[in-house]
Chains A and B, each alone.
Chain A
């Protein structure tokens, strides 16, 4: 049987999380089709056709699927589902919104946020925000899966698969797109950033966060915050990293003035390299960090900015 990967895109460009989902699909060792849905998405379909390992791109070029509204796209996926034993989505906000709607319409369980494919019916997924890893086996004929991007490499883009059109279904009136306000920040988005620099209660004020931003900008990093910093009003809620905020797994996570409450650690401990800057040597964050700098952050951050400049470090 074959796998179907649902491509995420913004109408013009393929979302890179799709590439990680394809890598997960490769583990099933069958054909892999990619579904691109949305009006005027020719460039997305062309980009998708270049993904290595893809058998074909199925292209539903119809404005009914614009913005990948779940109410519109889920019935389309369900219609195609009979050809597949696995349906995979990136575990980003698009995939998380869409996949369960598909699973319920197919009357199958969804396996969320997988980090490993052990066998075609057996998967590893984090629970309790990654504080435990569950190995689960699905008894359903079709596996509906969301893929944690940080757990699978990005597929390369040196292939050339055929693009086949898919007829659009009937439109729907349950929902419609109103508007979008994408963050204007020059900085990368928190959950997909290669580097994250977060500040905690130790920052002491909203104003002091510019010290964190100075480091972030030198590293091309996203800025995050602990729940304590958010509760103290230093940063808005969407900066929050942790079990009740965003779960991140960047290549480098720099925790500044964050003691390391359980719920914060749960949101970032899968980062490849962790740096803690804290004056308390006993802080849990310092204990789990790959590199702990025990120092007053108000001295350390300006010095770090200078040292990064001196070493010629530039954002990648």
Chain B
């Protein structure tokens, strides 16, 4: 079975993002970029399927600027077999990404698409569900366990109150949550080997998808600042303040 995984290039989770002075977005120039953490989990899960013999090929897909190649290389160094880069400098919103993925799925015919449940930049949490809808496939979102069996998959999902397990027909789209696995670090020999693995580059036009944004960002601002930094001297004072000043206990 072939597995397609999505890898998005995002601002590294350790970077404190800054809103641009002109309020058009957040500063991404000269900022450390990394693979979206949920996508690392997606890549790791696919590699484990290959190691277990249930997957035979892993294709890592990224969409966006030229630098997305680096993100694909990271996935290849972890253990993906080849990459596909949909090159564009236009803004891609989740619906557009889902449509581009659908076009790639129709070319590649994977048995499973694994995506991160959300990207830590726009926090949309949409692409996997949208892709499943467009393909008419089942979806296993926020997965903490994937068990493949013959013609189906059992996916355990992280829901608000605990865990829910659903049975899905294959092919399916699965999105990853934190508990699914712990992604490996790429070893130096594998980083070297990854340089030789192929990455196909495609233009949006070649996939025949309308990627025009449906949402216009009018402005991006800092969240309301907190007036913090007050100290209390003792636990008694803390309890008193919480009870009589803040009224929260």
**A139: which B residues are within 8 A, CB to CB?**
214-216
Question: Are A311 and B243 in contact (CB-based, < 8 A)?
Answer: yes
With A128-B17, A303-B235, A307-B239 as contacts: A104 and B134 at CB distance below 8 Å:
yes
Q: Which A residues are CB-close (under 8 A) to B142?
A: 93, 96-97
Taking the complex as formed, is A232 at the interface, i.e. its CB lies under 8 A from any CB of chain B?
A: no
Task: Point out the residues of chain B lying under 8 angstroms from A291, CB to CB.
Answer: 230-232, 238, 241-242, 246
Contact A130 B223 (CB under 8 A): yes
Instruction: Tell me the B35-53 residues at the A interface (CB within 8 Å).
Output: 37-38
Contact check, A189 vs B160: say whether CB atoms are below 8 A apart: yes
A110 touches B239 (CB 8 A): no
| CA gap between A107 and B246 in the complex, in Å | 46
> Bound complex: CA of A189 vs CA of B236, how far in Å?
28
Chain B interface SS verdict (over half): mixed
B139 contact set on A, CB distance < 8 A: 70-71, 97, 101, 175
Q: Give Cα distance in the complex from A18 to B154, angstroms.
A: 28
Query: Which one of B26, B234, B242 contacts A128 once the chains associate, using CB atoms below 8 Å?
Result: B26
Q: Is the CB of B126 within 8 A of A243?
A: no
B150 within 8 A of A: no
- Among the listed A96, A132, A140, A173, which residue makes an inter-chain contact with B223, where contact means beta carbons less than 8 Å apart? A132
State which of A104, A140, A189, A287 has its C-beta within 8 Å of the C-beta of B129.
Answer: A104
Q: Are A244 and B37 in contact (CB under 8 A)?
A: yes
Per the 8 Å Cβ criterion, residues 193-243 of B in contact with A are 213-223, 226, 228-232, 234-236, 238-243
A107 and B216 CA atoms in complex are apart in Å by 16
Chain B residue with the shortest CB-CB distance to A122? B218
* Residue A85 at the chain B interface, CB threshold 8 Å: no
Main secondary structure of the interface of A (DSSP, over half): mixed
* CB atoms of B219 and A135 under 8 A apart: yes
Interface pair B169/A275, CB less than 8 Å apart: no
Roughly how many angstroms separate A262 CA and B14 CA in the complex, as a whole number? 6
Q: A304-B239, A308-B239 are in contact. Are A136 and B232 (CB under 8 A)?
A: no
Q: Are B229 and A100 touching (Cβ within 8 A)?
A: no
The reply to whether the CB of B125 lies closer than 8 angstroms to some CB of chain A is yes
The answer to whether the Cβ of A69 comes within 8 Å of any Cβ in the partner chain is yes
* 118-146 of chain B: CB within 8 A of chain A: 120-134, 136-142
CB distance from B132 to the nearest CB of A (A): 7
Closest Cβ–Cβ distance, residue A237 to chain B (whole Å)? 5
* Inter-chain contact B132/A101, CB cutoff 8 Å: yes
In the complex, A173 Cα to B246 Cα: how many Å?
52
Q: Is the CB of B242 within 8 A of A174?
A: no
Q: A105-B133, A175-B138, A262-B16 are in contact. Are A293 and B228 (CB under 8 A)?
A: no
Residue of B95, B164, B165 ringed by the most chain A CB atoms within 10 A: B164
Report, nearest first, the 3 A-B pairs whose CB atoms are least far apart.
Answer: A100-B129, A109-B214, A104-B130
Residues of B within 8 A of A (CB): 11, 13-17, 19, 26, 37-38, 93-95, 98, 120-134, 136-142, 154, 157-169, 178-179, 213-223, 226, 228-232, 234-236, 238-243, 246, 248-249
